């Protein structure tokens, strides 16, 4: 996997990992069980913390530090 953005900006980290691991949001959505549109909505406007944590786990993001 290539170097991604710092986890200080977790949404950028998620986008980077999706691109590295799945090539695009459509491929990630298929594995995640959601459409590309839903994945995009979660990343850009997500308020469902459970879904957010499931995405992080699937992408291998084990810990998030809040500064």
Position 63 scores a pLDDT of 65
Residue 51 in any domain: the answer is yes
Give 7's contacts (C-beta < 8 A, 6+ positions apart): 13, 61, 64, 65
Average pLDDT over residues 44-62: 83
Distance CA 44, CA 10 (A): 11
Can you list the pairs that 26-31 forms with residues at least 24 positions away whose Cβ atoms lie under 8 Å?
31/58
- What is the pLDDT averaged over residues 13-25? 94
Task: Determine, yes or no, domain membership for 66.
Answer: no
Distance CA 12, CA 4 (A): 8
The reply to whether 30 falls in a domain is: yes
Query: What's the confidence (pLDDT) of residue 59?
Result: 92
What integer pLDDT is reported at residue 66 of this predicted model?
Answer: 54
The answer to whether the beta carbons of residues 59 and 21 sit under 8 Å apart is yes
Residue 44 vs residue 37, higher pLDDT? 37
- 8 pLDDT above the threshold of 80: no
Range of the domain at 30: 22-58
């Amino acid at each position: 996997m290539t170097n991604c953005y710092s986890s200080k900006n977790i949404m950028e980290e998620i986008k980077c990992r999706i691109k590295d691991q799945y090539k695009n949001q459509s491929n990630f959505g298929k594995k995640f069980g959601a459409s590309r549109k839903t994945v995009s909505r979660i990343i850009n406007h997500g308020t469902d913390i459970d879904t957010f944590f499931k995405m992080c786990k699937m992408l291998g993001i084990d810990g998030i530090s809040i500064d």
